[in-house]
Amino acid sequence: MRIGFVLYWCVFAFHLCKADDVERTETRDGGRRHQWGPGARSGSFVSDSGVQASNEHILLEACNNEPACLQDRVGLEAITQLHRQLDDDANGNVDLSESDDFLREELQYDSGYEKRQRAFHHNDDMHISVKELWEAWLRSEVHNWTVEQTVEWLSQSVDLPQYKTIFLQHKVTGATLPRLAVNNMQYLSNVLGIKDPIHKQKLALKAMDVVLFGPPKEGSRWK
């Protein structure tokens, strides 16, 4: 009887340890999913003073005293957040493997994304910092889209033409798209009045793609 009692507790302890291992695995996996999932996109901006100071320095260096650029702190905060989402190991730079993971896992590219990845790593720069990403964004074609071009992208690429009037009313240009890309609730819900969570998610993914990797494949329509 004593042997049976000991065996019972051994089996119980084994299952307890196994359950603990499963829980730890799920926690790790859950952390990964959270990083790439909607929670990562819709999170609020980091208000850390160090990040703010760094961003101010980036604005001064990259904007060449252009008032519109110097005042676009919200845009830079959005670019900083996008960079953080790509920078999986949090070392301050986005490398080739991280952009590859992002294109395949987050933006769901199965194939044909190599050209977009090369555009991101312009001049074969294998380690993209926040400053480099911001400077690339300022030079990009998408950043300079007019309201009309942005509305056409909304209708043709995002396939949400029902929001054309809202985009026209609020003069949404290409320079505004980083705020859509990070699913900025204040802007999407309160300013633009877009409430449908599926539509907000779709807008975020499509905006994320063009902000980071350039115009859609059928991009000739937006030139």
Asked whether residue 14 is assigned to any structural domain, the reply reads no
* The two structure tokens encoding residue 136: 């690339």
Longest CA–CA separation in the chain, Å: 85
Check whether residue 75 and residue 118 sit in a common domain.
yes
Same domain, 69 and 134: yes
> The CATH number of the domain where 135 resides is what?
1.10.238
Q: What is the pLDDT of residues 97-110, one digit of tens each?
A: 888 888 878 777 86
- Residues 171-188: pLDDT tens digits? 999 999 999 999 888 899
User: What pLDDT was estimated at residue 123?
Assistant: 62
Q: Which two tokens stand for residue 116?
A: 């977009």
Q: Would you say 122 and 146 are in contact if contact means Cβ atoms under 8 Å apart? A: no
The amino acid present at 168, given as its one-letter code, is L
Same domain for 77 and 113? yes
Domain that holds residue 105: 52-140
Q: What is the mean pLDDT of the chain?
A: 76
Domain boundary (80, 105, 140) is at 140
Domain boundary among 87, 119, 140: 140
Answer yes or no: is pLDDT of 16 > 70.
no
Asked if residue 40 belongs to a domain, the reply is no
Number of structural domains found in the chain: 2
Q: Is the pLDDT of residue 150 over 90?
A: yes
Q: Per-residue pLDDT averaged across 136-141, rounded? A: 92
Q: What's the whole-model pTM score?
A: 0.68
Phi, psi dihedral angles at 94 (to 5 degrees): -100, 120
Residues 150, 132 share a domain: no
